Amino acid sequence: MLQLAVILPTYNERGNIALMVERLDKALTGLNWEAIFVDDNSPDGTADEARRIGRDDPRVRVIERIGRRGLASAAIEGMCATAAPVVSVMDADHQHDPVLLPKMYEAVVGGEYDVAYASRFAEGASTEAWGRPDRVKASGLANRIARRVTGVELSDPMSGFFMLRADILRADAHRLSGVGFKILLDILATVDAPLRVKEFPMNFAARATGESKLDRTVVFEFLVGLYDKWLGRIIPTRFALFGTVGAMGVAVQFGVLWLVRSGLLGAPFVYGQWSSNTAFNIANTIAAVVAMSFNFVLNNELTYQDKRLRGVLPLLRGWAKFAATCSLGLLTNVGAAAVLRTMGFHDAISVIIGIVLGSVWNFALSSKFVWGKY
Ligand code: GDD
Ligand code: MN
């Protein structure tokens, strides 16, 4: 009977697959196991390599996902794709030692613990061999923030090496975020029942071959995910991002206006031939257009990174639509403030409500017409 499934998310890990299967085979003698490589259509042919091994060894299976990316979502799909009652997730690049698997299995199979995981920061663990003091520091920081926001009290909630009973995972799989790298943290913060967790100290090794896929996008997604858990129900994450970008745009507008007025940018052109009022208006218009374009670019990169517009033409079209949206938003903004003021509201209150209404308008319209799908 199948006892254990080891899920190995892969992206460009071709050179690591064969040895990984060998090491699993050695570590798991006596257990009935399968390994599922969940590959996101890696350009280096990782999936082909795994299939090649799987033809001789039916314990090796492959899920190939097309047009998708992400460690966490790959782990979830792998864990949902096995009949094994116990599932484990580990990296395929040899940073995680499969020798720990049988001990983790012992801890969860009888129900003594719900989750077993390997920690890089537990008593007796080591990150020496990793050779990345910068990443050790960053992981320590990420772990501290994660503990604070989610209340998960582990030494390494960011670990990517863990095991649990499949029914626990499947009961809540639909509620997991599946974004980025933080799959264990996601499970612990999502499953309502208090989970009994057994910690195993590990020696986190250096990657065998290939490169890490943890990049800026993953870090950004991590921060966004924490915000989502923290305040997301009160102020939706995307609107919060949109608003933050908008606030930065205000700073940019002031900055550009100051540059023009102080003579550092285009002053002869602006101030040479016009009265001071007209000059101010021209300068401020330039500043507003720069700020709006800045907002467009940042929203495209961050707020709507999952729907990012690419290529010259789509970008130009998006910019024009964003400009149209913003001009209507500006009318809403100024109009609402004017109405509120005649109703007797304090000036500042009127302006602030105007800004909020204008932003909501901009957000609603641009998410539909600039970054939306029809
Ligand atoms: N399918 C799929 N899709 N797999 C991916 C993706 C992806 O988009 N990105 C990464 N992987 C796979 C890698 O191929 C590797 O097998 C495993 O996930 C870990 O990715 P690495 O790129 O090696 O991550 P790392 O070593 O920098 O990060 C380590 O530390 C993180 C916390 O600091 C890992 O242990 C992570 O699991 C851990 O969360
Ligand atoms: Mn790695």
Return the domain boundaries, the chain: 4-231, 237-369
Q: How far is the CA of 207 from the centre of ligand 1 (A)?
A: 10
Residue range 290-319: mean pLDDT, rounded: 94
Give the position, in ligand 1's atom list, of the atom nearest the Cα of 69: 8
Q: Which of 92, 69, 78 minimizes the C-alpha distance to 179?
A: 69
Sheet containing 162-165: order of strands = 60-64, 33-39, 4-10, 86-89, 162-165, 115-119, 197-201
Which pLDDT band, with edges at 50, 70 and 90, does 231 fall under? Answer: confident
What sign does the dihedral 166-168-171-176 (CA atoms) show? negative
* Pocket flag, ligand 1, residue 77 (CB < 6 Å): no
Which pLDDT band, with edges at 50, 70 and 90, does 20 fall under? Answer: very high
Q: How far is the CA of 172 from the centre of ligand 1 (A)?
A: 22
Ligand nearest to the CA of 204: 1
* Pocket flag, ligand 1, residue 11 (CB < 6 Å): yes
Residue range 31-46: mean pLDDT, rounded: 98
Ligand nearest to the CA of 156: 1
Greater confidence, 354 or 283? Answer: 354
Ligand nearest to the CA of 135: 1
Specify whether the CB–CB gap between 123 and 154 falls below 8 A: no
pLDDT of 315 > 70? The answer is yes
Among 7, 8, 11, say which to mutate for ligand 1: greatest number of ligand atoms within 8 Å of CB.
11
Q: Which CATH class is domain 4-231?
A: alpha beta
Alpha helix locations (H) across the chain?
14-27, 46-56, 71-80, 101-109, 133-150, 166-172, 183-190, 216-230, 237-261, 267-271, 276-298, 312-342, 347-369
Q: What is the pLDDT of residues 149-176, one digit of tens each?
A: 888 999 999 999 999 999 999 999 999 9
Element containing residue 214 per DSSP (H, E)? none
Among 39, 96, 213, 222, say which to mutate for ligand 1: greatest number of ligand atoms within 8 Å of CB.
213
Give CA–CA dist 128/275, Å, rounded: 67
Question: What string of DSSP letters covers 113-164?
Answer: -SEEEEESSSTT-B-GGG--HHHHHHHHHHHHHHHHHH----S-TT-S-EEE
Give the position, in ligand 1's atom list, of the atom nearest the Cα of 12: 14
**301's tokens:** 């990169």
Q: Is 328 helix (H, G, I), strand (E, B) or coil?
A: helix
Between helix 133-150 and helix 216-230 the angle, nearest 10°, is 20
Residue range 219-241: mean pLDDT, rounded: 89
**366's tokens:** 């641009």
At residue 200, what are phi and psi to the nearest 5 degrees? -120, 120
Greater confidence, 5 or 151? Answer: 5
